[in-house]
Amino acid sequence: MILKVCTSLLLLFLVNSVWTRTVRQVYDDLGPDHWSHYTSECPQECFCPPSFPNALYCDNKGLKEIPPIPARIWYLYLQNNQIETLSEKPFVNATYLRWINLNKNKITNGGIESGVLSKLKRLLYLFLEDNELEEVPAPLPVSLEQLRLARNKISRIPEGVFSHLENLTMLDLHQNSLLDSALQSDTFQGLNNLMQLNIAKNSLKKMPLSIPANTLQLFLDNNSIEVIPENYFSAIPKVTFLRLNYNKLSDDGIPPNGFNVSSILDLQLSHNQLTKIPPINAHLEHLHLDHNKIKNVNGTQICPVSIALEEDYGHYGNIPRLRYLRLDGNEIQPPIPLDIMICFRLLQAVVI
């Protein structure tokens, strides 16, 4: 224990030392004569921390407009204001922006000047959550890595809006007003490096079309999805985390091997209408099936390998990897069937 603590403290010290050295190098490069200049060019409505010269804090200031952004700024914080428009003028000198947080404002699509975002050539992270957007803004900078648009009023995704965003790894559209008709077969075309797609809390009745092939995390909670198409996950062979909680899935809506997918490690199907556990893959590690209509569990039937043959695999063999199983909120009565424990020998927690 002492060795682990010492190792952790040493690692923390080294990380802090590298960070401190990096920041100090920035100070040394700037020199003391530059500080008066930085102070004078800081917008009076905002805060420019001397210890973080590349950041500009204009959050929680009651702003209705964006002030002029100094050229040195990389990180811009504008959340929790009353901003309604995004125009080109404040960003004329801000050619090095990497990060913009505009969450919790009053921005509409009509308030975004044409081309203002695409001209931010180095922008990596754009946060526009909790605004009044009705469609995904376009055009967007090709440099983007994360786009967060949760809790708007988005019901439309313009054609080709993502076609050039090859660097985008995370797209968050949860809690909007998307219908199935908004997600066409080419909607996500161009997102070749997308790893996380969040379309939870919309109004989908079907699984979305043409999810990018490299997607690792797919979040579809709180929709009205009833059916998983046959071989749906063969088009996204890397999907690892799949969330379908709070939908309308029934036994008839799931193909015989719909979730028997070797890439899926975490499968969440809570708050649906299932009466039995669907077939799963031996690689699955976490399974959430709480608050369905399941009445009993038969370990022999749901075991991804034959219990009779499991002895042949040995301790380090290809035994089922399930570690967490949640079944509470169903009609199952304890105790846990013995064959569940025989099959899933790595189980660490069962909630029933």
> Would you place residue 1 in the very low, low, confident or very high pLDDT band (cuts 50, 70, 90)?
very low
pLDDT at 301: 87
| Cα–Cα distance, 144 to 126 (Å, whole number) | 7
Whether 260 maps to a domain, the answer reads yes
Cβ proximity of 192 and 214 under 8 Å: yes
Write the pLDDT tens digit of every residue in 258-303. Answer: 999 999 999 999 999 999 999 999 999 999 999 999 999 988 889 9
The average confidence (pLDDT) of the chain is 89
pLDDT at 95: 94
Which tokens is 334 given? 């304890």
The more confidently predicted of residues 100 and 298 is 100
Give me the residue label for tokens 């079309």.
209
Query: CA angle at residue 202 from 201 to 206, to 5 degrees?
Result: 115
| Residue 351 Cα distances to 283, 328, 336, 347, angstroms | 20, 6, 10, 11
Q: 3-12, 182-191, 201-210, 306-315 — which is least confidently predicted?
A: 3-12
Q: How many domains does the chain have?
A: 1
Whether 257 maps to a domain, the answer reads yes
Write the pLDDT tens digit of every residue in 207-253. Answer: 999 999 999 999 999 999 999 999 999 999 999 999 999 999 999 99
CATH of the domain at 301: 3.80.10.10
Q: What pTM, to 2 d.p., does this model score?
A: 0.86
pLDDT at 335: 86
Give the mean pLDDT of 168-174: 98
> Would you place residue 27 in the very low, low, confident or very high pLDDT band (cuts 50, 70, 90)?
very low
DSSP for residue 332 = P
Whether 30 maps to a domain, the answer reads no
Give me the residue label for tokens 């811009």.
76
- Structural domain that includes position 238: 226-351
pLDDT at 292: 98
Q: 104-108, 139-143, 304-308, 313-317 — which is least confidently predicted?
A: 313-317
Whether 46 maps to a domain, the answer reads no
Give the mean pLDDT of 114-127: 97
Does residue 33 carry a pLDDT above 50?
no
Give me the amino acid identity at 261. Answer: V
Work out the end-to-end distance of the chain between its first and last CA atoms, rounded to an integer number of angstroms: 34
> Would you place residue 157 in the very low, low, confident or very high pLDDT band (cuts 50, 70, 90)?
very high
